[in-house]
């Protein structure tokens, strides 16, 4: 017996929606020419009573319908207005952020990430530019009473930093930025270290003032300096050079050569600080690079050269232009081509380190730490080279009894002995 009931009707397929409105946001699927479709979102604009339209095209209707359903779920989950303003790129960025930080402990939230970004942007705007920071550093140097020579060197080096990064926000400068800047200067590693030290002082001041959090220069790693020896002159060239000098500049260079005074310190020295009657040169705290007072003995050789200098009043050094002129002429006359920076001072300290057993005493004369002497000057010269340098006398000097660097006469049988010519070097001008 067959059933008389009609077969069950097939369940009608749910019709895909092509339009949805949730709150003030509307999403619509539109058919385009060529079989393409588009998902269009109408959402509130940035200004009152305005609308914003976003349109994304898809190759097929199925792809557009999938996007429609995803958009619908998003609207229901986070709210129509917020979802309407989130672009596809933002949604991808949020997804990437969560994927990248998912294994962090604790994992940061989107709110924390946005807060961090806002703090960063505020720091960029409130820190000022690199040029501003450099100007503040120069003003601070003037306020602290640093020497004109020091400030001149500061201006020279920081001018290159200002040219390269002056308009950048100070907080945006990273250690890598500084490393690339130093590499592009085309100078030696030792000189790069000098630039880095001065640049670091700019950022250190900004940290102290609360305009940035950390000093990027502190994390810059430069290559190790190998063979960074102080530049010196051959010991036998000293007398030839000093003899060729104009008397007006003789004292300045003789004091650098035989008392180890820095070039900048010699430029500030006054004759009342060269105490010939007491046999010492006083480098005051205001004139010293290290801002500490020190006394340097005047050796017999130095006293003999200073005796040839006229007008021992006022400043020891003539104007800078005169010094450069006299230096160039004396080097030419003496046939000295190479002239390393501060080579007279370096030669003097090298001679001391080779002939004096008490390096602590030498360090006091030089204004250096004993460790620096061991690292840079010890074993740089032989004792013979040091004696030739420090016993170099002017051509008009008489051969005196043999004396050590301290000035004590050598005794033998209770009588002073005349020094052999090998111990007192006398140079005569060539006619």
Report the share of the chain in percent with pLDDT over 90: 37
Q: How confident is the model at residue 59, as a pLDDT?
A: 86
Summarised one tens digit per residue, pLDDT across range 39-48 is 888 887 777 7
* pLDDT of amino acid 2: 54
Parts of the chain belonging to CATH 1.10.443.10:
235-426
Taking all residues of the chain, what is their mean pLDDT, rounded to a whole number? 81
Residue 202's pLDDT is: 94
- Residue 68 CA, distance from chain mean position: 57
CATH class of 235-426: mainly alpha
Q: Which two tokens stand for residue 314?
A: 């006022």
Q: Count of alpha carbons within 13 Å of 345, Cβ hemisphere only?
A: 20
Listed residue (281, 254, 257) closest to 269, CA to CA: 281
The pair of three-digit structure tokens given for residue 304, joined into one six-digit string: 């003999």
Question: With 0-12 CB in 10 A as exposed, 13-18 as middle and 19+ as buried, what is 171?
Answer: buried
Determine contact, residues 306/245, Cβ cutoff 8 Å.
no
Structure tokens, 280 = 């010492």
- Give SS3 for 425: strand
pLDDT tens figures, 173-198: 999 999 999 999 988 887 898 899 99
The answer to pTM > 0.85 is no
Label residue 404 by pLDDT band (50, 70, 90). Answer: very low
Q: How far is CA 54 from the centre of its chain?
A: 50
In eight-state DSSP terms, residue 398 is: P
Of 61-70, 184-193, 296-305, 387-396, the range with the highest mean pLDDT is 296-305
CA–CA gap between residue 119 and residue 184 (Å, rounded): 32
Identify the top-confidence range among 97-106, 227-236, 327-336: 327-336
pLDDT value at position 137?
A: 93
Residue 158 CA to residue 302 CA, distance in Å, equals 38
The span from the CA of 181 to the CA of 71, in Å, is 48
Instruction: Encode pLDDT of 225-252 as tens digits.
Output: 555 567 889 999 999 999 999 999 999 9
pLDDT at 14 over 70: no
Peptide bond between residue 142 and the one before it cis (omega within 30 degrees of 0): no
Over residues 142-157, the pLDDT tens digits come to 888 877 777 888 898 9
Hey, what CATH topology would domain 130-219 get?
Answer: DNA polymerase; domain 1 (1.10.150)
Please, what sign has the CA dihedral across residues 312, 317, 321, 327? Answer: positive
d(Cα 183, Cα 50) in Å, to the nearest integer?
53
Lowest mean pLDDT among 82-96, 164-178, 208-222: 82-96
SS3 (DSSP) at 127 = coil
Which of 82, 79, 36 minimizes the C-alpha distance to 55? 36
- DSSP-derived letter for residue 185 is T
Parts of the chain belonging to CATH 1.10.150.130 = 130-219
C-alpha to C-alpha distances, 329 to 72, 139, 242, 247, 324, nearest whole angstrom: 88, 38, 11, 13, 9
Note the pLDDT tens digit of each residue in 278-331: 999 998 765 444 446 789 999 999 999 999 998 889 999 999 899 999 999 999
> Edge-to-edge strands of the sheet including 19-22?
19-22, 25-31, 37-44, 51-58
């Amino acid at each position: 017996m067959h059933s008389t009931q009609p077969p069950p009707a097939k369940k009608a397929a749910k019709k895909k929606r092509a339009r949805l409105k949730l709150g003030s946001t509307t999403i619509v699927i539109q058919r385009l020419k060529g079989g393409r479709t588009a998902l269009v979102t109408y959402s509130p604009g940035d200004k009152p009573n305005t609308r914003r339209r976003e349109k994304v095209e898809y190759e097929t209707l199925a792809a557009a319908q999938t996007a429609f359903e995803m958009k619908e779920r998003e609207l229901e989950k986070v709210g129509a207005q917020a979802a309407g303003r989130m672009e596809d790129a933002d949604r991808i960025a949020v997804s990437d952020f969560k994927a990248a930080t998912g294994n962090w402990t604790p994992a940061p939230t989107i709110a924390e990430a946005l807060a961090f970004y806002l703090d960063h942007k505020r720091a960029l705007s409130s820190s000022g530019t690199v040029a501003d920071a450099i100007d503040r550093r120069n003003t601070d140097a003037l306020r602290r009473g640093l020497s004109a020579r020091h400030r001149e060197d500061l201006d020279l080096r920081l001018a290159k930093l200002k040219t390269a990064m002056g308009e950048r926000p100070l907080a945006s400068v990273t250690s890598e930025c500084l490393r690339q800047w130093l590499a592009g200067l085309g100078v030696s590693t030792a000189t790069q270290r000098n630039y880095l030290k001065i640049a670091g002082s700019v950022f250190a001041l900004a940290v102290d003032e609360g305009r940035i959090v950390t000093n990027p220069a502190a994390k810059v790693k430069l290559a190790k300096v190998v063979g960074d020896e102080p530049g010196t002159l051959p010991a036998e060239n000293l007398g030839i050079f000093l003899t060729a000098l104009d008397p007006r500049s003789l004292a300045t260079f003789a004091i650098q050569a035989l008392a180890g005074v820095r070039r900048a310190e010699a430029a500030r020295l006054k004759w009342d600080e060269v105490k010939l009657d007491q046999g010492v040169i006083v480098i005051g705290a205001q004139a010293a690079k290290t801002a500490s007072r020190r006394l340097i003995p005047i050796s017999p050789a130095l006293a003999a050269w200073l005796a040839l200098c006229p007008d021992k009043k006022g400043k020891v050094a003539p104007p800078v232009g005169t010094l450069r002129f006299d230096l160039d002429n004396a080097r030419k006359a003496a046939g000295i081509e190479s002239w390393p920076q501060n080579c007279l001072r370096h030669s003097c300290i090298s001679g001391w380190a080779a002939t004096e057993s008490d390096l602590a005493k030498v360090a006091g004369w030089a204004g250096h730490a004993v460790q620096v002497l061991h690292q840079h000057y010890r074993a740089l010269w032989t004792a013979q080279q040091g004696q030739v340098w420090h016993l170099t006398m002017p051509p008009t000097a008489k051969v005196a009894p043999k004396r050590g660097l301290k000035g004590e006469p050598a005794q033998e049988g209770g009588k002073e002995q005349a020094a052999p010519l090998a111990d007192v070097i006398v140079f005569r001008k060539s006619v």
